Amino acid sequence: MNIYGDRGNIAVLQKRLEWRGYSASITSVGIGDEFNPNNFDFCYLGGGQDRDQMLVAHDLGKKSAAFLSAAKDGVVFLWVCGGIQLAGVGYTNSDGNRISGVGILDLDTSAGSSRLIGDLVLDAELEGDNCRVVGYENHAGRTFLGPDATPLGSVVKGHGNNDTDKTEGAIQRRVVGTYMHGPLLPKNPWLADKLLSWAIEHKTGETPTLSSLDNSLENLAQQVAISRAGMKR
């Protein structure tokens, strides 16, 4: 699934690896394709409409055991928008139809009566490290986390998971789900590098020290998004 430029997140991950001297092999896993958890260090699913979710949900269910195995082994996952809904226990759409999820995030989602749309700003936390993260949300889902998942961050501006508890996204092991499009990672180099460091650690067994990059353009894009959300820089 790929709306709002979500596929651009893959390009960001690839370039930030290459700029540091790493190589990356990108493999597309489609409907009907086998997913071998031993072959991957990082897995990504972009956002989609309800129709797209219905098309892929059944196939993802067949792969759920392999996804769970990969998550327990420390494989990094990033699931965006429709992805976060499918990573959870399930999603009940606006027609009342239940779509089963993969279950690698302890959360459940139901469609609300209105869409939650606009720029989204949050204070995010990963393994005790904090940073501001920005994106764009456009979803009808009301997602609530269970006890095994923690929020990606607290909402400073926008709606987030459910427009009620001021949380956005979810983290469990090294599985990250979020409603933030944009694409997300070009404006959030801190988050991109966190995910990459996890993936390299999974590949090598050692925690890497990533060399610094010139993030001036990325930081400027983030500041524009913060201003657009109506916040002071």
- Which pLDDT tens digit goes with each residue over 29-72? 988 999 999 999 999 998 766 666 777 888 999 999 999 999 99
The string of pLDDT tens digits covering residues 223-232 is: 999 999 987 6
In the numeric block, which tokens belong to residue 21?
A: 């001297």
Residue 144 belongs to a domain: yes
* Residue of 48, 32, 28 lying closest to 40 (CA atoms): 28
CATH assignment of the domain containing 159: 3.40.50.880
Domain count, the chain: 1
Q: Report the catalytic residues.
A: 81, 181
Cα–Cα dist 129/125, whole Å: 5
Residue 233 belongs to a domain: no
Cα–Cα dist 134/4, whole Å: 14
Boundaries of domain holding 79:
8-228
Residue 3 belongs to a domain: no
Which residues are CB-contacts of 183 (< 8 A; sequence separation ≥ 6)? 4, 5, 6, 7, 8, 9, 12
Token pair 């609300």 is found at 112
Residue 56 belongs to a domain: yes
Residue 1 belongs to a domain: no
Cα–Cα dist 14/42, whole Å: 11
Residue 117 belongs to a domain: yes
Residue 202: which pLDDT band, with cuts at 50, 70 and 90? very high
Mean pLDDT of the chain: 92
Residue 145 belongs to a domain: yes
